[in-house]
Structure 1
Amino acid sequence: MPNFVQDFESTRLVMLAKQYPEVVKAYGEVVFCAQDSEARLSGTRWTIEDDIFEQATESGFKVHLIELLDNFIEYRAQCNELPKKEGVVRFGNGGLKIEWLPDGSTHLGAK
């Protein structure tokens, strides 16, 4: 089992923010979760201004963030780093921050 690198996620979020400065200027958040049976992203809920959501989609930011979250979930599972299933990414003022939440917190995985 590999050792978890503490700045793995923050470094990649900084890199993503530098790629999309116009999107991360705006305030918003993305709540996400992974299914219990797999270490893969299974759902997101975006809260962001309409015009920025369109820009995030068209620019590729949305796809890149989703891919990154999927990678983070998979990496945490490989390293057995907890929590590893649910969280929220907040952005604004040109930056991105991730907060991991206890399983069941987001209600995205509820059936």
Structure 2
Amino acid sequence: MPNFDQDFEATRLAMLAKQYPEIVKANGEVVFCSEDDESRLSGTRWTVEDDIFEKATESGFKVHLIELLDNFIEYRGQCNELPKREGVVRFGEGGLNIEWLPDGSTHLSN
């Protein structure tokens, strides 16, 4: 089992933020979760300002963030790093950050 790299997620989120500076200037959050039996992303809920969701979709930001979240969940599963099923990504003021939440704490898991 590989050792978990504590900087893995933050580094990749910073790289994504540099790719999409206009998107991450706006305030928003993405709540996400994975199924019990799989280390794969199964759902998201986006809460963003104004027309950012459309811009995020058209620019490719949405797809790239979803792919990253799927990778993070899979990586945490491989390393047996907890929590690994639910969380929230917040963006605004040019940055992205992730907060992992205990299982069952988002409405997506119910």
TM-score, shorter chain, exceeding 0.5: yes
Task: Give the Cα separation in 1 of the matches to 2:82 and 2:43.
Answer: 19
Q: Compare 60-69 and 43-52 and name the one that shifted more.
A: 43-52
- Per the alignment, in what secondary structure is the counterpart of residue 108 of structure 2? coil
Within 5 Å, which residues of 2 pair with 1:1-111? Answer: 1-110=1-110
Structure 1 alignment gaps of length 5 or more: none
Task: Give the Cα separation in 2 of the matches to 1:97 and 1:83.
Answer: 16
Structure 2 alignment gaps of length 5 or more: none
Task: Give the Cα separation in 1 of the matches to 2:45 and 2:105.
Answer: 13
Q: What displacement does 1:18 show?
A: 0.2
The RMSD of aligned alpha carbons is 0.5
Q: What displacement does 1:109 show?
A: 1.9
**May I ask how many residue pairs the two structures share in their alignment?**
110
Q: What displacement does 1:107 show?
A: 1.9
- Per the alignment, in what secondary structure is the counterpart of residue 22 of structure 2? helix
Calculate the TM-score normalised by the size of structure 1.
0.98
- Per the alignment, in what secondary structure is the counterpart of residue 105 of structure 2? coil
Amino acid corresponding to residue 68 of structure 2 in structure 1: L
Task: Give the Cα separation in 2 of the matches to 1:55 and 1:85.
Answer: 27
Amino acid corresponding to residue 107 of structure 2 in structure 1: H
- Per the alignment, in what secondary structure is the counterpart of residue 3 of structure 1? coil
- Per the alignment, in what secondary structure is the counterpart of residue 83 of structure 1? coil
